[in-house]
Amino acid sequence: MQTRKETLVDELVEYMLVNGLSNVSLRPLAEALGTSARLLIYHFESKEGLLTEVLERMQTRLRQSFGTMLERGSGSSERPLKQFWDWAIAARNFPYLRLLYELQILAAQNPESYGQYLQQNASNWSELIAMALPENERTPAMVTLVGAVFDGLFLELMSTGDRKRTTLAIHHFIKLVDDARETSRVTHKKSAKASAN
């Protein structure tokens, strides 16, 4: 059974999905949830504490969903980045990702309050990205590149609403990576053959 605090976090997520971050101050939030600012302070200590809890709940839900998607698609020939992009832009998931990015931007503007959360979050997503990559490509640079491409294109989608162009860009990036893999494989094969002669 959920605690009152856990229930409040779920209600806050639902409220922010509908209303965004426009009224992220305790009194309007409390009023919208049918509670009091005093109760929110009791459970979360501050607005920053409240937002950190919401961020963590969103991250946990999304990481679990991403992990499940990777498990289901493990036999698929489709690239994990494409699978995740298609999942992220689906109508049922897009509002959650959009809210997550809005919250991330707010947290990044206040590193003194959210620094620990931001570091932990980056680490958690890096681990998931690494799991999705072929073993020989699980380098910090490649993990960072894949994460940055997704982040950049998702922010572009949030800004422009242009799903077609951003989806084509994801496909183009995947093709560039696949082409680089093939070139590396052929070069390695030639080099091994030359060494054997």
Q: Assess whether 103 and 182 both reside in one domain.
A: yes
pLDDT at 96: 85
Residue 126 burial (CB count, 10 A): 16
Q: Which of 12, 28, 45 is the last residue of a domain?
A: 45
Q: Assess whether 30 and 60 both reside in one domain.
A: no
Q: How far is 26 from 56, CA to CA, in rounded Å? A: 18
pLDDT at 197: 65
Q: Assess whether 54 and 40 both reside in one domain.
A: no
pLDDT at 57: 86
Q: Assess whether 179 and 101 both reside in one domain.
A: yes
Work out how many domains the chain is built from and give that number: 2
C-alpha distance from residue 67 to each of 15, 108, 181 (Å) = 26, 25, 24
pLDDT 10s per residue in the chain (197 long)?
788 889 999 998 888 888 877 667 888 889 988 999 999 999 999 888 888 888 888 878 877 877 777 777 666 667 888 888 998 898 888 988 888 888 888 888 888 887 777 888 788 888 888 888 888 888 999 999 999 999 999 999 999 999 999 999 999 999 998 888 888 888 878 877 777 76
Q: For the domain that residue 84 is a member of, what is the CATH number?
A: 1.10.357
Smallest CA-to-CA distance from 129 within 146, 154, 105 is with 146
Q: Assess whether 182 and 149 both reside in one domain.
A: yes
Task: Please give the residue range of the domain that contains residue 3.
Answer: 1-45
Smallest CA-to-CA distance from 99 within 43, 20, 152, 156 is with 20
Q: Assess whether 17 and 93 both reside in one domain.
A: no
Q: Assess whether 65 and 133 both reside in one domain.
A: yes
Q: Assess whether 136 and 154 both reside in one domain.
A: yes
pLDDT at 75: 62
Question: What is the number of H-type helices and E-type strands within the chain?
Answer: 9, 0
pLDDT at 73: 66
Q: Assess whether 28 and 76 both reside in one domain.
A: no
Q: For the domain that residue 16 is a member of, what is the CATH number?
A: 1.10.10
Burial string for 3-20 (b: 16+ CB within 10 Å, else e) reads eeeeebbeebbebbeeee
Smallest CA-to-CA distance from 171 within 66, 71, 86, 69 is with 86
Distance of CA 59 to the CA centre of its chain: 7
